Amino acid sequence: MNTRGLRSQLKDTVAVTGLCPQAGAYGVQDTLRKGFTSVKNELLPSHPLELSEKNFQLNQDKMNFATLRNIQGLHAPLKLQMEYRAARQIQRLPFLQSSNIALDTLRGSDEYIGFEDILNGKNVVGTHMR
């Protein structure tokens, strides 16, 4: 397993020197969730599926584009990626979360229900707004 650059794969944060390397949201070690500090804790993923799930959509896209290129030629993935880029740019105001409806339609994920649609904290009984 390639451990070089593994830390950058696991985390989306840039570590600031001088502070605890495993800082959570408030700058201190999140002992309850992440356990005690250790180098091994930081470099290795906490679950074998963590990395594969993080990059799943990217890898799927890469594979699909490569297949498309082999079948139809370079123009097909090129045009599609241009459309994805254009759809990704349709956003709301800077601090608002976009619904990504154009992107979903392009990807075909508007007709697909996965775990991300169920396990998103919104379907818990009794948490609806009045």
Nearest to 50 by CA among 41, 39, 38: 41
Q: Which of 27, 92, 125, 128 binds another protein (CB under 8 A)?
A: 27
Which range in 20-28, 63-71, 72-80, 82-90 contacts another protein by CB under 8 A?
20-28
User: For the window 63-82, what string marks contact with another protein as x by the rule CB under 8 A?
Assistant: --------------------
C-alpha 83/C-alpha 81 separation (Å) is: 5
Nearest to 34 by CA among 52, 15, 47: 47
Q: Which of 26, 85, 124, 126 binds another protein (CB under 8 A)?
A: 26
Q: What is the rounded (10 degree) CA torsion for 22, 28, 31, 33?
A: -70
Q: Which amino acid is at 70?
A: N
Q: Which of 8, 66, 82, 112 binds another protein (CB under 8 A)?
A: 112
Which range in 1-9, 22-30, 64-72, 82-90 contacts another protein by CB under 8 A?
22-30
Which range in 7-15, 61-69, 73-81, 85-93 contacts another protein by CB under 8 A?
7-15
Token pair listed for 110: 């508007």
Ramachandran region, residue 121 (left: φ > 0; alpha: ψ -120 to 50; beta: rest): left
* Residues forming the site for another protein (CB under 8 A): 12-16, 19, 23, 26-28, 32-36, 41, 45-50, 52-53, 56, 97, 111-121, 130
